[in-house]
Amino acid sequence: MKKILYLLIGILCLSGISCGYKCCDVPGPMNFIRAQKNGSAWEIDNSVGRIKLDSLILADTSVNPQRTELLAFKLKFNGADTYALGPANVVYAYVPGMDNPYAYYTLDAGYANTFTVTYYNAGAGFVGGTFDIKLDKDPSNTDPRYPASVSFLSGSFSIHLSK
């Protein structure tokens, strides 16, 4: 009887030790880009990133007819740093029905658009940081279905870089 009791106590102790503090928490998305888009919460969970030559590229890779937007960042990468963004560094467009982009946007030149890499681990292949951008619709597009300007403020990203 003592052997069974010791075995039961041993199994209980082993199961208690093997279950960590957060073992039952459901993990959040590994790769994400989040921001306040025009004052409302906005998020992409299918983001990818990679470093190609000397450029960091972060983009939305979702293939989803319901998502009508495309956001991508590309910049000369120097590790953890704050980057001033120019027109060639950000692509934002509405892509209705997965067709060719219909409404292109460019950075608002009157706003201090920034992109900050706060964490970079080359060995583990992770990059994270923040961004604040404001964009204006291409003036040649007069379609009233798309807003004249879009802002992504208090943005953050955490991406596992592809090889």
Q: What is the pLDDT of residue 30?
A: 76
The Cα-based distances of 111 to 30, 33, 68 in angstroms read 30, 21, 25
Per this entry, what is the length of the chain? 163
Q: What is the pLDDT of residue 70?
A: 84
- Give, for all 163 residues of the chain, the pLDDT tens digit: 655 555 556 565 555 555 555 555 555 557 899 999 999 999 988 788 999 999 999 988 666 666 678 899 999 999 999 998 999 999 998 877 666 667 889 999 999 999 999 999 999 999 999 999 999 999 888 888 889 999 999 999 999 998 7
> Domains of the chain: which residue ranges?
32-162
